[in-house]
Structure 1
C-alpha cells in the first residue's frame, strides 16, 4: 500500500481518539510537550552541557524524516511516528537524515532511504519525498523558540553517481536554511575545506552555545572507507564547510586517528587491551559511539531497542541512542514494542522534579540512582568526583551549599553531578560502597525555577519575573526565557546589545526585536559575530526606531501602556530606558500605564501575541552585575618549534609582535593550546606543560628528553585578554 492509506489511518486514529490524540499545547499543538516524561528528558538533555561530547548522551531518532505524521513526504516504509520537529518537542536532540538527489536529471537534495549508496535516487521510491530544505526547516523552526538547546544532525550523504556537485548542493541548502545556527569546523579553528574531525574529547555543548550556535552536523558515511579521502574537497568543498567528517578516536595505546566513523552497535569500535570492541571499552578510551535501531514499520516485530534495553546501552557507554519508531502508535501500525520517551531517561524519577511546597531547589541521588528535588537545607552526604571522573561519597554531611568544601576535603575531588547514565551507575556503586542511600548532587534550580544548572558553583543572579499585563488569553504565548537559560548554560558572556521598535500606520506600538551578542570566552571555539535576535509582533508601516547599547549597557526601566483595540487589550506603547541615559519608544500611551524600574537589568520579555499585535507584556530581570564583559582572543600563535622545547610564553609572543607591547601579563584571562597539525588539545597529549601567568610552554627536560632529544609536541596557542588593546 502507498502511504496515502497510512495518512488515512492516521486521520482515522485521530477521529477515534486513539493514543495519538494528545492535549493540544500552545507551543506545538500536535503533541503534548508538557508531559512529565518529556520534561524529564528535556532537563536531562542539558545535564551534560559542560561535558566533552565523549561523555555526553543524546536521545536520537533514526531516519526522522520518514514519518507518519509529517505531511511533507509519503513514505511507504516509515521509521518514525512523529515529524522531526515534533520529535524535538518530545525531547529528542539528534536526528538522522538520508539525503539523495531526486533523479538522474534532477539534482535537488531530497530525503529518502533505499540503501543503494552512490546509486540512490529518490525517484526510485515511487512516492512523494520531502526536500532537504524542508527537513532543515524543522530544525530552525524548533530553535527559533529554543535557543538554549544544542541539536545534532547526522547526515547520510554519499557521493552521487549522477551529479558530481551533489554534496556541494547540500552545503548550499545548509547555508540557506540553517545559516548562523550551525557550529562550523572553522568555529573550532579548522581551515575552510579541511576534512574536519569532530573533536569529541574536548568539544562541549557549552562551546557550541558560547560560539553563538545551536547545531552540530556530522557524517560518518561511508563507514568502511577512508572518510577524508572519500569526502575530498574537489566535489565537496561547500559540504566540508558545514559538516564534520567522523570523529577523533583513540586506541588503547593513546594514539589518535582522526575522522573515524562512530563505533556503532559494537562495530568499528576501538579495541581495548583484550581486543574487545564494546561500548564500555570505547567509552573508557574517550571515544564516541552509537546504539542504533533502524527498524521500519514493516519489520516492527524486530524492534531491537526499547524499554530497559535502551538504558542498558547508555549504561555501557553509548553516546547516541538512535532509535526507530519512537512512540509509534500501536493501534495504527501494531508497534507494541515501540520505544517510549521515558526509555531514554536515566536521571529524574517519575514525577520529579515537582518542587513540593515550592521550596525544593536542589537535586538528590535516591537509593535507586534516580533523582528527585528536595529542600536544600536537608543534611545529606555529597557526591564527589575527581578529574578522572572517579566517584566518591564525602565523609561529612550537611546542607547542599556545603558540598563544595566537603568534596574538597577528600583531596582532588569536587562536588559534582553525573554527566550520563554510565557515570550515574558509577556513582550508585560509590554510594553502595559507602553505605549511603541518598546524596546531594551539584544540580539545582535556585536561580530560576525549572532552569536546572549542573556542575557549577552557585551564584545568585538576582532573578525576578514581572507578570505580563494586558490580555492574558488572546493570541499565542511567547517567552524569551531561553535566552537567559542560554546565558546560564554557557559561560555568561551573552548580553543584550540592540533593540528595535516599530509602530503601525495607526501610530500604535506593534513590534519589538531584542538582539543579544555572544561575547568571546576562554574556549577553542570562536564566538560568532552575529547577534541572536528575538522578535515579536509585526512591522507594518509607521515609524520605527533602533538603539544599540554600549559594552556595559543594559535596560534599566520599561514603561508600557495597554488599551482596547477591536474589543481586546493590546500593548499600544513601549518605552525602554538604558543605564546609559538613552531611551527608545514606540506608539502613544493611552489606556493603563505600567512601569518596571527596580534597579536590575531587564534581560528578556514574555507575553502574548495575536493578529500581529502584542496583547500582553512582562519581563525577566537579572542583576545589573550580570552584564559580562567579553574577552578578546588572539589568533592561533606558533612562534617556536620544539627543538629545545616549545616556548609560547607571553613575553616571547610579545617580542614576536603577536601581543601588543602595551599589554601586561595581568591582562591575560586564559590560554588554550593544541598540537599543530592534528589540532589535538594539549590536555590529551599526556605531556607535562606550563600554563600559568607566564604563559604556555613545554620543556623537553620535563618530559624525559633533552636539548638533543625532542619530546615536546609542537603546540599552537590562543591567548584571551580582558582588553582589546592587547591585540596587535
Structure 2
C-alpha cells in the first residue's frame, strides 16, 4: 500500500509539472506572450534605464518549494526556471548565511540559503524567518543557469539581497560555480551605468547583469562582478505575502501592483516592475504590452511586412508599398516628429533626414517613447515605423 501511495504521489508530481509546462508553452504561443517577447527584442540596443522589464519579487519564495516549515507564505507560484520561461527578466535571490539540516546529519551546519527574512541583516546571526530546510542559494542559481544555457541570446538582471554576514567568499564561489562566464563585470563598486545595454552584455559574451546590495563588497573579486545599485534604473515591487497583506491593512493600505499600475509605470518611464504571484494567467502581462495591437502582427494575405503606428498608439503590420507619413526621432531624447510628406516604407530615412536637427527614421523601444510618438502625430492617424520582417517572416527587426 505504501509503495502504491508513493507511486501515485510521483505520478501526481509528474502530471502537475507537465501541466505547468504546457500552460507556459500555451502562454508563450498566445498573442500576449508573443507581443511581450517581441518587445524584449526591440530594446536590446537601448540603455537598461530605458527598458520596460517585467520581473519577480522574492523569486525563490515560491509555493513550488514549500514543505512543512519552508516558504509557508509564498510570493510566487512557479519555480525560478518557469518564471524566466514566462518572461521575467529580473530575478531576486535573498542569500542568508544561516543554519540548515539539509542532507545527512553530518552535512548539517551553516550555508548560504534562500530565505525570506527581511530582518536577517539587522538581527545578525538570528535570521528570523529562515527555516532549517530552506533551499541552498546554489540550487536557485542552478535554475537560472539552466535557463540561460537554453536561451543564449537573453539577458537578465540578477539581484542578490545580501544577508551573508561577511561570507562574501562563499557567495563568490557559488556565483562562479553556477554562473561562471555568464556575469557581465561591473568593473568594481559602481551603479549600473546609464549607457549599459543588453547588446553590450551579449557582445561581451555574457547574459547576467549582477546587482548586489549592501554596498561595495570587501571581496575584490566579487566587487569587480557586482553592481552596487540600479543607478537610474527605476524599480517598483509589491508584497504579496499574507504577512504583507495584514501589515498593509494595519497601516492603511495593501501593497499590490494592478494591471493599471503596470501600464502606467511603463507609460511614464518606469523600468522594472517586480510582481508577486506571477503566472501565465496574470492579466498584468497583457497590461505590459504597449506596442502591437491585439492579434497583430498577423501578415494578412501573406504580404504585410512593415509596421505602422495607428491612431490609438498601437501597431499593425501592413504592405510596405502603402503610403503614410514617417515617425522620426532625435536619438538620445524623447523627441518625436512626423514628416509632412508621405510615401512607401522604404522612403523613411530620406524623409526624416529632411526634418534636420538630427531626426532619423525610427521605432519606439519603450512605452514612454510610444506615447511621445502618439502625441507628436497631431491628428495624423497612421505613420510608418522603422520595423519590418521583410527578410524573414515573423522575425521583426530594426534594420
Sort the TM-score into its range (normalised by shorter chain): 0.7 to 0.9
2:327 match: 383
2:275 match: 323
1:178 correspondence with 2:174: no
2:209 match: 216
Question: What's the CA shift for 1:247?
Answer: 4.3
In the alignment of these two chains, the number of paired residues is 368
| C-alpha distance in structure 1 between counterparts of 2:66 and 2:305, whole Å | 42
Contact 1:81 1:328 in 2 (8 A): no
1:405 correspondence with 2:388: no
RMSD: 2.8
Given the alignment, which residue of 335, 339, 342 partners 1:394? 339
How do residues 193-342 of structure 1 correspond to structure 2 at under 5 angstroms? 194-199=188-193, 201-219=194-212, 221-222=213-214, 227-228=215-216, 231=217, 233=218, 236-248=219-231, 287-297=232-242, 299=244, 302=254, 304-327=256-279, 340-342=284-286
Given the alignment, which residue of 309, 312, 315 partners 1:371? 315
1:82 match: 78
Question: What's the CA shift for 1:451?
Answer: 2.2
| C-alpha distance in structure 2 between counterparts of 1:452 and 1:108, whole Å | 46
| C-alpha distance in structure 1 between counterparts of 2:245 and 2:306, whole Å | 41
Q: Secondary structure at the match of 1:423?
A: helix
Question: What's the CA shift for 1:405?
Answer: 0.9
1:145 correspondence with 2:146: no
| C-alpha distance in structure 1 between counterparts of 2:386 and 2:245, whole Å | 41
Question: What's the CA shift for 1:95?
Answer: 1.3
Pick the structure with greater CA Rg. Answer: 1
Would the alpha carbon gap of residues 197 and 340 (structure 1) be closer, same or farther in structure 2, given more than 3 Å must change? closer
Would the alpha carbon gap of residues 82 and 303 (structure 1) be closer, same or farther in structure 2, given more than 3 Å must change? farther
Contact 2:86 2:280 in 1 (8 A): no
Contact 2:63 2:74 in 1 (8 A): yes
Contact 1:348 1:371 in 2 (8 A): yes
Question: What's the CA shift for 1:312?
Answer: 0.5
Contact 2:334 2:372 in 1 (8 A): no
5+ residue gaps in structure 2? 1-8, 101-107, 247-253
Contact 1:100 1:120 in 2 (8 A): no
How do residues 421-436 of structure 1 correspond to structure 2 at under 5 angstroms? 421-431=367-377, 433=378, 435-436=379-380
More helix by share: 2
Contact 1:62 1:324 in 2 (8 A): yes
Would the alpha carbon gap of residues 362 and 129 (structure 1) be closer, same or farther in structure 2, given more than 3 Å must change? farther
How do residues 447-526 of structure 1 correspond to structure 2 at under 5 angstroms? 447-454=391-398, 458=399
| C-alpha distance in structure 2 between counterparts of 1:453 and 1:419, whole Å | 11
CA deviation map 1:213-238 (0-9, x unaligned): 1111112x34xxxx34xx3x2xx333
Would the alpha carbon gap of residues 371 and 172 (structure 1) be closer, same or farther in structure 2, given more than 3 Å must change? same
CA deviation map 1:425-454 (0-9, x unaligned): 1111101x2x21111111222222222223
Would the alpha carbon gap of residues 373 and 151 (structure 1) be closer, same or farther in structure 2, given more than 3 Å must change? same
Would the alpha carbon gap of residues 453 and 436 (structure 1) be closer, same or farther in structure 2, given more than 3 Å must change? same
5+ residue gaps in structure 1? 1-7, 249-286, 330-337, 459-728
Q: Secondary structure at the match of 1:419?
A: coil
| C-alpha distance in structure 2 between counterparts of 1:328 and 1:296, whole Å | 19
Would the alpha carbon gap of residues 125 and 405 (structure 1) be closer, same or farther in structure 2, given more than 3 Å must change? same
With normalisation by structure 1, the TM-score equals: 0.47
2:250 match: none
How do residues 112-191 of structure 1 correspond to structure 2 at under 5 angstroms? 112-118=115-121, 119=124, 124-126=129-131, 128-160=133-165, 164=166, 166-185=167-186, 190=187
With normalisation by structure 2, the TM-score equals: 0.84
2:114 match: 111
1:346 match: 290
